[in-house]
Amino acid sequence: MSSIENIYKPYLMRVEKITNEAPDVRTFRLKFANPEDAASFSFKAGQFGEYSVLGEGESTFCIASAPTRKDYIECTFRRVGKVTSALSKLEEGDTMSFRGPYGNIFPIEDWKGKNLLYIAGGIALPPMRCVIWNTVDLRQDYKDITILYGARTVADLVYKHELQEWTDRPDIKLVTTVDPGGETPDWKGEVGFVPTVLEKMAPSSENTVAIVCGPPVMIKFTLPILSKLGFKDEDIFTTLENRMKCGFGKCGRCNVGKVFVCKDGPVFTLAQLKELPQEY
Amino acid sequence: MSMEIKSIQKDSLDKLFNSLKSRGNLIYAPVKVKNEVQFDFVEKFEQITDDFIQTTQSVKNSVFPKIETLFKFVKTGKEVKMLDMDMSLIPEIVIWGIHPCDVWGFDSLRAIFTWDTHDMFFEKRMDKLTIIGMSCAKADDYCFCTSVNLGPGSTKGSDVLLTKTGNGDYIAELVSDKGKALATSMPDVFVQAVQSKKEDFLVVVEKRFDSESLIPKMQKKETFDSPFWVTNSLRCLGCGACAYVCPTCACFDIQDEGYGARNIRFRCWDSCGLKQFTIHTSGHNPREVQSQRWRQRLMHKFAYMPERNKVTGCVGCGKCSRACPVDMNIAEQLQEIDQKM
Amino acid sequence: MDSLRRKAQQLLESKEVDCIIGYNEGSSGNVHAGFITTPGQAEKLIFDDRCKQNLGVYLTKHEVMRLGKLAIVAPVPVMRTVLILTYECQIVENSVKVLGIGLDGQFLDFNEYADIEKYLTDHCNEHPEEDKKLIEKISAMSVEERWDFWHETLKPCIKCFACRQACPMCYCVRCQVECNQPQWIPVQSSELGNMEWHFMRAMHLAGRCTGCGDCGRSCPLGIPVHLLTFKMSDVVLDNFNTKAGLTIKEPSTLSTYKANDKETFIR
């Protein structure tokens, strides 16, 4: 594959499986059209790529599957813009393209022997799903794994079958919540915004790292609560979603201060974010 | 690299041109069009002018074209095929009569396109360039090359730098190996150097600020947070004129053209000054107001690039200030920061 | 000019307005927009032949709006801009204080927008003579010649959007050129795409152009794009006998229907 030379040239991918997650939210399982590409490809949790229907442009999402699951990658997206609309029209068996992996990684090696607290809101579970499964697949390396996941309504919760799987596992604690008014009569989870539920849960910050991902407003109210619970800025991780085009620090779009989110991120600790101008 | 100095007699400059042309080079040189001077591909020596201070646009188009096709693709039914561009079609180009500031612009572009990941398109085009620079005998008060460690006779980046002397002959400094080889191959054009001092024929460009002192100031948090940016950018309209004429601005967009027979993915110029540049699909915009975008432009050049790429992202040509419809004068603003911060 | 400065000073002293948008001395013999917020700065206001920018563009700019209650130094095209923006609900009637500058260069103290309407009834700006001649020349061309003319003229456009950004009427949060579902107009600079962009803009300005000429003046490459919008004004005047921005009571020509409108364009 000449992408070694032409950094803009993507891999061709076959859409192997499409899962409807929530209204307008889909997960694609993608396989490399060219087996040699599959053999040479590897990535780590936290990295992202540029997904595309040729002719319609590229769109940036994190790789949503875990690197421990070989042979395929998955992405989850909501149909909003031009590219995601085009992706939504694809059927199983269709061809699309993918460029990546780009960006840095969640330091899961450093987290060994620690408790992990994942906090996600809405469509921000997908960028975190990769690292969740990665650490769950290496379960013995970590102590308690807690996942707090919230969405506006029950229908908006993504990966419903996996949420069930996590609920059923005794070695994972999953708390799901929906915004007030978003519950259904048979809803058994929490009702309330993520920060409120987190405050009620009051997880210990002792030997724990928190990984937070969600809409800006959720992040804004969640971070102070984590600080109150005693989490140090170095132990709070998030992944930024700045607009990107190239993926390798050239096009200028994701430049925040001296960093390029696509090269130096997308994973940052709160301590690192505090060093950056608030342009994310 | 030690520099060799030769001279070219005034009536043998056309010989240089014709030899370069006959070797199959395209020659990109300043020509007069209506009331302006702009770089264009020229066929005849007579088309070229050296009577200008600055062209409106830079020459970055030669290595970073407005539109660069990245690859082609063909869709037949459900099958998709991608086709590489034939890079061997990139022509050898001689950039003729370009001023030292514009020449050094290539260095900033190189910093952007080759740090960490190398951009093939830029590098291939850059390899094919021969740069014959021309020292400046004229300047206006938009020029501030001396503030950013350059000067009207700076040889940095040129293969050959010409300086016109009082009698019309040229001092030819052979800066690079490419320049030396060129001179060796044309001994009747590049003749023994005459005894004249280059400095006598250069314009004096006033130093507005000192980039050595400015850069650390730009990197201070207080500068970033200063109300200076809002006050000084209220009149900025948020267009891309400054970025598009700039020799070093390299922000781009990637787009597809998927209709009809022309199925291509390409990159095209973009600008951090435009509101849409950073906007998320959700509507959230990390740089929501114009002052943030104006700050980004200056910070990128004078704070981020010096730290990250060890170069200043500005060559002091003043093209942006001349092109600005509302007189956003970059040198004036940088000078103010240097004095106040 | 003294009366303008005195008025400006008085408005700021009495806190009737928080900021005066006017013209200041700029760099290298240029003038540029100035935002005067203290009575002491009123001295910096100038008005002369160089003061051509349509300052009305700042009335919809967020960071300027945040400065508080505004006054604006307004030659005739700016007066018309204020009236159009009022009609189009971008500003509230009489909310922006208008410091008029008449066609003769005299300061005009308007109390309310009705006074501006009155002034404009017999003091409207005309296209400059040289532009009139150019428009005549282009209009006299055959369709093919005209196509070639614009094709060549717009070819160098780099799509920096200075024309759009300089235009007070181009205040859309999302311009049509930025809409991509579908992508009506290519993002990049390209020969046909450039024509599509400028023609689309001209159409959106038809019946709304105040004739300030800022789109053309702002072009870094000197492309006379204002001739397109000027021509549109002529077409609207010929067909509907209206000029944009002379009143806040009448909606813009192309967004209204009148029973006696000519319909000769329907073939």
CA atoms within 13 A on the CB side of C144: 0
Share of chain A above pLDDT 90, in %: 92
| Tokens 């070219």 -> residue | B8
- A2 pLDDT exceeds 50? no
- A4 pLDDT exceeds 60? no
What angle separates helix B211-218 from helix B330-340, to the nearest 10 degrees? 80
Q: What phi and psi, each to the nearest 5 degrees, are found at residue A79?
A: -75, 110
Give yes or no for A89 touching C (CB within 8 A): no
CA nearest to C242, candidates C266, C212, C262: C262
Give yes or no for B303 touching A (CB within 8 A): yes
Q: What CA–CA distance (Å, rounded) separates A64 from A128?
A: 7
Yes or no, beta carbons of C180 and A85 under 8 Å apart: no
Which chain A residue is nearest to residue B109, measuring alpha carbons?
A250
Neighbours of chain B (3+ CB pairs under 8 A): A, C
Yes or no, beta carbons of B327 and C189 under 8 Å apart: no
- Rounded to an integer, the average pLDDT of B36-46 is 95
Share of chain B above pLDDT 70, in %: 98
- pLDDT value of position B3: 82
Q: Which amino acid is at A108?
A: I
> By a Cβ cutoff of 8 Å, what residues of chain B touch chain C?
34-36, 56-57, 66-67, 140-142, 230, 233-235, 237-241, 243-245, 253, 255, 257, 266, 268-269, 271, 274, 276, 289-291, 321, 323-327, 329, 332
CA nearest to B247, candidates B316, B295, B144: B316
Structural domain boundaries in chain C = 2-121, 129-255
Confidence label for C250 from pLDDT (cuts 50, 70 and 90): confident
- pLDDT value of position C51: 96
CA nearest to C119, candidates C130, C109, C133: C109
Q: What CA–CA distance (Å, rounded) separates B10 from B26?
A: 22
How would you write chain C as a 3-class SS string? Answer: CHHHHHHHHHHHHCCCCCEEEEEEECCCCCEEEEEECCHHHHHHCECCCCCCCCHHHHHHCHHHHCCCCEEEEEEHHHHHHHHHHHHCCCCCCCCCEEEEECCCCCEEECCCHHHHHHHHHCCCCCCCHHHHHHHHHHHCCCHHHHHHHHHHHHCCCCCCCHHHHHCCCCCCCCCHHHCECCECCCCCCCHHHHHHHHHHHHHHHCCCCCCCCHHHHHCCCCCCCHHHHHHHHHHHHHHHCCCCCCCCCCCCHHHCCCCCCCCCCCC
CA nearest to A48, candidates A99, A83, A124: A99
Yes or no, beta carbons of C27 and B321 under 8 Å apart: yes
| Tokens 């200041």 -> residue | C24
Q: What phi and psi, each to the nearest 5 degrees, are found at residue B41?
A: -75, 130
B193 vs A207 pLDDT, higher one: A207
Yes or no, beta carbons of C165 and B244 under 8 Å apart: no
- B1 pLDDT exceeds 60? no
Which chain B residue is nearest to residue A241, measuring alpha carbons?
B280
- pLDDT value of position A3: 38
The DSSP element (H or E) to which B184 belongs, if any, is helix B177-185
Identify which of B115, B252, B265 has the shortest CB distance to residue A249: B115
CA nearest to C205, candidates C240, C258, C164, C264: C164
Confidence label for B261 from pLDDT (cuts 50, 70 and 90): low
Q: Which two tokens stand for residue B46?
A: 């007579």
Q: What is the pLDDT of residues C50-68, one digit of tens each?
A: 999 999 999 999 999 999 9
Q: What CA–CA distance (Å, rounded) separates C11 from C116?
A: 19
Bridge-based pairing of strands B26-33 and B191-192 is unpaired
- C200 pLDDT exceeds 70? yes
- pLDDT value of position A1: 34
| Tokens 């102070």 -> residue | A224
In order of their start, the domains of chain A are 2-102 (2.40.30.10), 115-239 (3.40.50.80)
- Rounded to an integer, the average pLDDT of B126-153 is 97
Neighbours of C229 (CB within 10 A): 28
- C266 pLDDT exceeds 80? no
- pLDDT value of position A224: 94
Q: What is the pLDDT of residues B208-254, one digit of tens each?
A: 999 999 999 999 999 999 999 999 999 999 999 999 999 999 999 99
- pLDDT value of position A5: 83
Give yes or no for A169 touching B (CB within 8 A): no
β-strand partners of A259: A256
Neighbours of C267 (CB within 10 A): 4
Confidence label for B260 from pLDDT (cuts 50, 70 and 90): low
Average pLDDT value over all residues in chain B: 94
Torsion C193-C197-C198-C204 (CA) sign: positive
Per DSSP, the three-state class of A201 is helix
- pLDDT value of position A200: 96
Sheet bearing A115-121, strands edge to edge? A190-191, A172-178, A145-151, A115-121, A208-213, A236-239, A267-269
β-strand partners of C180: C183
Q: What is the pLDDT of residues C85-133, one digit of tens each?
A: 999 999 999 999 999 999 999 999 999 999 999 999 999 999 999 999 9
Contact between residue C265 and residue C259 where contact means Cβ atoms under 8 Å apart? no
- pLDDT value of position C144: 97
- A171 pLDDT exceeds 50? yes
- A75 pLDDT exceeds 50? yes
- pLDDT value of position C75: 97
Assembly ipTM: 0.94
Q: What is the pLDDT of residues A104-116, one digit of tens each?
A: 999 999 999 999 9
- Rounded to an integer, the average pLDDT of A139-151 is 96
- Rounded to an integer, the average pLDDT of C176-204 is 92
Give yes or no for C180 touching A (CB within 8 A): yes
For testing contact with chain B, the best of C63, C67, C175 (most B CBs within 10 A): C63
Torsion B316-B319-B320-B324 (CA) sign: positive
Q: What is the pLDDT of residues B72-84, one digit of tens each?
A: 999 888 888 999 9
| Tokens 């067909």 -> residue | C239
For testing contact with chain A, the best of B79, B80, B90, B119 (most A CBs within 10 A): B80
Q: What is the pLDDT of residues B266-325, one digit of tens each?
A: 999 999 999 999 999 888 899 999 999 999 999 999 999 999 999 999 999 999 999 999
Q: What CA–CA distance (Å, rounded) separates A126 from B121?
A: 34
Query: Which residues from A are below 8 Å from C183, CB to CB?
Result: 82
Q: What CA–CA distance (Å, rounded) separates A234 from A240?
A: 16
Yes or no, beta carbons of C187 and B268 under 8 Å apart: yes
Identify which of B289, B324, B325 has the shortest CB distance to residue C63: B289
